[in-house]
Amino acid sequence: MPADFSTLSENPLVLIVGGGFAGLECAKGLATADANITLFDRHNYHLFQPLLYQVATAVLSPADIAAPIRRILRKQQNVRVVMETLLGVELEAKVAHFPSGDVCYDYLVLASGVTHSYFGHDDWAPLAPGLKTVDDALEIRRRVLSAYETAEWEADAASRKAELTFIVVGGGPTGVELAGALKEIASQTIPKDFRNIDTTTAEIILVEAADRLLGALPQKLADRALHDLQDMGVVVRLNSLVTNIQSGGITIGEEFLAAKNVIWAAGVRGSDVTESLGVELDHQGRVLVTDNLSIAGFPEVYVIGDLAHVIDSDSQQQVPGVAQAAIQMGQYVAIDICRKQGQEINYKPFVYHDRGSMATIGRNHAVATIGGKHFSGFFAWLIWGVIHIFPLISFRRRISVLLAWFWSYFSLSKDVRLITGKSSLKIKKSLGAVSKSGKRIS
Ligand SMILES: Cc1cc2nc3c(=O)[nH]c(=O)nc-3n(C[C@H](O)[C@H](O)[C@H](O)COP(=O)(O)OP(=O)(O)OC[C@H]3O[C@@H](n4cnc5c(N)ncnc54)[C@H](O)[C@@H]3O)c2cc1C
């Protein structure tokens, strides 16, 4: 049974669900408000998702990019942190359902983000993990590193080739960053560590349904990213809609590509909790909100961050699902709650201030658009590094990430190469014996 925090103060009960960029920023924005805030998250940590691909590709450890929410908010006396998963909400009754019981609210801020969408093919999920959580990143790391271990011990040439083929589905920033990092592992990090296989022959294939990469960035930068990836040796397949994923490969139209390792970076949808609301959702399951980020007819319920479908009041464009938008929404809602509680603040609809977008492609290569100016190559890569170091929570993490990057840059090494969790290493006795030279023979 949940503790009844409502008795602790007369102040309005504010429930924030999600300790990501949006929820955390909203809680911080209410630091001086007369509010009784409870922040719920299914995890006990805030995750800096933009660097998640570096956990998946063995550059960083999870603790470098995740910080306990309780610790982040420890000095803010008006907020309590609860590790719980929201199951659903009854908007009319103003009740949120959790596994341990129901909680009433005066204000509800839903900031539970998005999850992977397999476009109706949920059976592809175990075959092609997506990258959204620490567990996802560790699973991808395990699969990637295990593939090399299996290939080293594999006698059959076709099976070995399939083990050394990595397909990334989706040519947005996550797909581009993953493909570049996987190529670096194969060609720079591990070639000297193996005896039977030449890891530089590993094939990294980036598959995108559209006719270009990085749909949110200008065409010129997308072309540059394509050029850089191809220069590194990544095979980029544009106009290629994946029609099936099965154990051992993917199908694009009539063509089958054999690969043991497929990573999904192609689509997202609103977290399951939105279905319980009974309100209008967009085709990706995100909640349509008004210009002050609340649900129409329920001014006390806000939806922010990736979970919200927001049309910007100025540009009339849909606000993108990026960290800076989530942060701005969190800040806006904190102010709007203060306004509703009687603080003298003029009403203003939410306006998104786009500070730019970027994607890194690999060592010394990135593309960025900032303030209408386009950058690429080494300079963009430096900007990308600076911009991704500062928002990390705590000085310790910034130093730790910086050291890991320096080490990785100068040594070409990616040192967090531990295979943890259930191993997928398949040593098939039937495949053959080992020769005196240590090589497998069929
Ligand atoms: C791999 C990757 C790379 C990215 N790179 C960039 C980038 O370079 N730049 C950029 O601007 N953006 C990037 N993004 C997007 C950015 O991370 C998101 O836009 C941002 O995290 C959205 O913030 P949010 O608070 O809405 O959701 P999230 O940060 O996803 O937070 C949601 C929180 O809700 C919690 N939660 C979910 N469901 C429940 C539930 N039912 N009950 C309780 N808690 C729940 C989750 O545990 C999580 O802590 C990237 C995203 C990914 C996945």
Q: What does the pLDDT read at residue 282?
A: 94
What is the value of pTM for the model shown?
A: 0.92
Instruction: Report, as an integer, the average pLDDT of 28-35.
Output: 96
Strand, helix or coil at 375? strand
Residue 8 binned pLDDT confidence (cut-offs 50, 70, 90): low
Give whole-number Cα distances, 148 to 16, 257, 420, in Å.
43, 19, 15
Chain centroid to CA 184:
20
**Percent of residues, the chain, with pLDDT higher than 90:** 81
**Pairwise CA distance, residues 284 & 350, whole Å:** 21
Eight-class DSSP state of 318: B
Residue 426 binned pLDDT confidence (cut-offs 50, 70, 90): very low
Q: What does the pLDDT read at residue 395?
A: 84
Q: What does the pLDDT read at residue 435?
A: 46
Instruction: Report, as an integer, the average pLDDT of 345-368.
Output: 92
Q: Which residues pair with residue 219 across a beta bridge? A: none
Q: Mean pLDDT in the chain?
A: 92
Distance, CA 276 to ligand 1 centroid (Å)?
Answer: 20
Which residue of the set 25, 149, 154, 177 is catalytic?
177
- pLDDT surpassing 50 at residue 99: yes
State whether the beta carbon of 48 lies less than 6 angstroms from ligand 1: no
Phi/psi for 370 (5° steps) reads: -135, 125
Instruction: Report, as an integer, the average pLDDT of 135-143.
Output: 96
Q: How many CA atoms lie within 13 A of 285 on its CB side?
A: 19
Residue 371 binned pLDDT confidence (cut-offs 50, 70, 90): confident
Distance, CA 15 to ligand 1 centroid (Å)?
Answer: 18
Q: What does the pLDDT read at residue 427?
A: 41
Active-site annotation holds for 177: yes
- pLDDT surpassing 50 at residue 442: no
CB 365 within 8 A of CB 377: yes
Distance, CA 113 to ligand 1 centroid (Å)?
Answer: 5
CB 367 within 8 A of CB 221: yes
Strand, helix or coil at 181? helix
Per-residue pLDDT tens for 297-319?
Answer: 999 999 999 999 999 988 889 99
**Pairwise CA distance, residues 367 & 92, whole Å:** 47
Residue nearest to atom 7 of ligand 1 (CA): 50
> Which atom of ligand 1 sits closest to the CA of residue 320?
19
Instruction: Report, as an integer, the average pLDDT of 368-380.
Output: 93
Q: For residue 306, what are its two tokens?
A: 């990736």
> Which atom of ligand 1 sits closest to the CA of residue 22?
25
Which of 49, 169, 275, 333 has most ligand 1 atoms within 8 Å of CB, for mutation? 49
Residue nearest to atom 33 of ligand 1 (CA): 18
Domains within the chain, CATH numbers bracketed = 5-42+84-114+269-340 (3.50.50.60), 122-266+356-411 (3.50.50.100)
Name the burial class of residue 97, with classes exposed (0-12), middle (13-18) and buried (19+) by CB atoms within 10 angstroms of its CB.
middle
CB 94 within 8 A of CB 105: yes
Of 60-64, 212-216, 312-316, which range is least confident?
312-316
Which of 69, 73, 112, 361 has most ligand 1 atoms within 8 Å of CB, for mutation? 112
**Pairwise CA distance, residues 305 & 327, whole Å:** 7
Per-residue pLDDT tens for 221-230?
Answer: 999 999 999 9
- pLDDT surpassing 90 at residue 124: yes
**Percent of residues, the chain, with pLDDT higher than 70:** 94
Distance, CA 24 to ligand 1 centroid (Å)?
Answer: 11
Per-residue pLDDT tens for 190-207?
Answer: 999 999 999 999 999 999
How many C-beta atoms surround the C-beta of residue 353 within 10 A?
A: 9
Q: What does the pLDDT read at residue 415?
A: 79
Higher pLDDT, 414 or 399: 399
Instruction: Report, as an integer, the average pLDDT of 266-291.
Output: 92
Eight-class DSSP state of 438: S
Instruction: Report, as an integer, the average pLDDT of 398-417.
Output: 86
State whether the beta carbon of 69 lies less than 6 angstroms from ligand 1: no
- pLDDT surpassing 80 at residue 425: no
Q: Which residues pair with residue 251 across a beta bridge? A: 244, 256
Which of 322, 324, 329, 332 has most ligand 1 atoms within 8 Å of CB, for mutation? 322
